[in-house]
Structure 1
């Protein structure tokens, strides 16, 4: 269920000069912020939690997920070039799973690695904070990539819809409105971070068992429905 040719084309599309430049901006900003905070305040577990939770998990990871998830297939559907891919003897579920794999890999690379580096800069992994947030970023990358890949198959405005979700729901409501947090990929991922980190270092509004169920359910359902949407596309690019 993995096609190397589709994967190579998807990597090329996601890591082209313009898109790669965008992908590098947020991780670089996180590391710069971490270095500046460490220089001014020294190693502090609470400060590290605020930076990694407030910027890395609430902003950087979902935005990178938007770029990678929607970019893996959305542009091909929008400009009609997906018909050339669909005309090849490759099963459509294979296309979706391959593109999802690439989107997950790119999201993980540009979110989890910088999160770990920033965590080490901030407090040297005191309280297992760097490791905890890195694991949360890895897990969140899977769910975000699947959800935003789905958006790329159902709407021509996938980037806008993804940004609204990432910035408004995850970044604003998911941080400020208590009830909305239970429906947040960010909070589900933080449940894992809470388990890994030192007691009291990281908080999540969702229990770990429920968080795992929701993460798996959202990932599987989003991937399945994206496959169904692609299956219904004709070679004219219309449903």
Structure 2
């Protein structure tokens, strides 16, 4: 269920000059912020958790997920080049799974790695905060990639819708409105981070068992439906 040719083409599209530049901006900003905070405040566990939770997990990870998830397939559908891929003897679920693997890998590389670095800069992994948020970023990367890959298959406005979801729902409502937190990938991943770091600096409104079930269910359903949606595309590029 993995096609190297599809993967290579997807990587090439995602890591093109303009898109790669965008992908590097947020991780670089996170590390700069972490260095500045450490220089001004010294090592502080609460501050480290606030920076990693408020910027890395709530803003950076979903935004990178939007870029990687929608960019893995959206542009090909928009410009019609997807028809050349669909004309090849490659099963459409294989195309979706391969693109998901690529999107997940890119999202993890550009979100989890800088989160880990920033965590060590902030407090040297005190209270396991750096590791906890890194695991949360890794898990969230999978769910976001699946959701935004699906969005790329069903809408020509996937990037705009994804940005609204990332910035309004996850970063704003997911942090401030109690009812919305239950339906937030951020909160689901925070449940894992809380388990790793223990009670204290990291908390989630969703219990760990529920969070795991929701993460698996959303990722699986989004991937399955994206595959089904791709089946409806004709070789003429229509639906």
TM-score, length of structure 1 as denominator length = 1.00
Aligned ranges 1:37-116 → 2 under 5 Å? 37-116=37-116
Residue 121 of structure 2 corresponds to which residue in structure 1? Answer: 121
Aligned ranges 1:146-157 → 2 under 5 Å? 146-157=146-157
CA offset digits 1:87-137 (Å, max 9, x no partner):
011000000000000000000000000000000000000000000000000
Give the deviation of 1:181 after TM superposition.
0.5
* CA distance in structure 2 between the partners assigned to 1:225 and 1:92 by the alignment: 12
* CA distance in structure 1 between the partners assigned to 2:150 and 2:87 by the alignment: 21
Structure 1 residue ranges (4+ consecutive) displaced by more than 6 angstroms after TM superposition = none
* CA distance in structure 1 between the partners assigned to 2:134 and 2:237 by the alignment: 39
Residue 13 of structure 2 corresponds to which residue in structure 1? Answer: 13
SS at match of 2:235: coil
TM-score, length of structure 2 as denominator length = 1.00
Give ranges in structure 2 of 5+ residues lacking alignment. none
Give the deviation of 1:191 after TM superposition.
0.1
Give the deviation of 1:200 after TM superposition.
1.1
Q: How many residues end up aligned between the 2 structures?
A: 239
Residue 193 of structure 1 corresponds to which residue in structure 2? Answer: 193
* CA distance in structure 2 between the partners assigned to 1:128 and 1:144 by the alignment: 24
CA offset digits 1:149-207 (Å, max 9, x no partner):
00000000000000000000001000111110000000000000000013212000000
* CA distance in structure 2 between the partners assigned to 1:91 and 1:193 by the alignment: 37
SS at match of 2:182: helix
Q: Does 1:208 align with 2:190?
A: no
* CA distance in structure 2 between the partners assigned to 1:179 and 1:202 by the alignment: 19
Contact 1:3 1:94 in 2 (8 A): yes
* CA distance in structure 1 between the partners assigned to 2:130 and 2:215 by the alignment: 21
* CA distance in structure 2 between the partners assigned to 1:23 and 1:193 by the alignment: 24
* CA distance in structure 2 between the partners assigned to 1:90 and 1:199 by the alignment: 48
SS at match of 1:183: coil
Residue 135 of structure 1 corresponds to which residue in structure 2? Answer: 135
* CA distance in structure 1 between the partners assigned to 2:170 and 2:191 by the alignment: 15
Give ranges in structure 1 of 5+ residues lacking alignment. none
* CA distance in structure 1 between the partners assigned to 2:110 and 2:221 by the alignment: 24
Residue 159 of structure 1 corresponds to which residue in structure 2? Answer: 159
Contact 1:129 1:198 in 2 (8 A): no
Contact 1:48 1:129 in 2 (8 A): yes
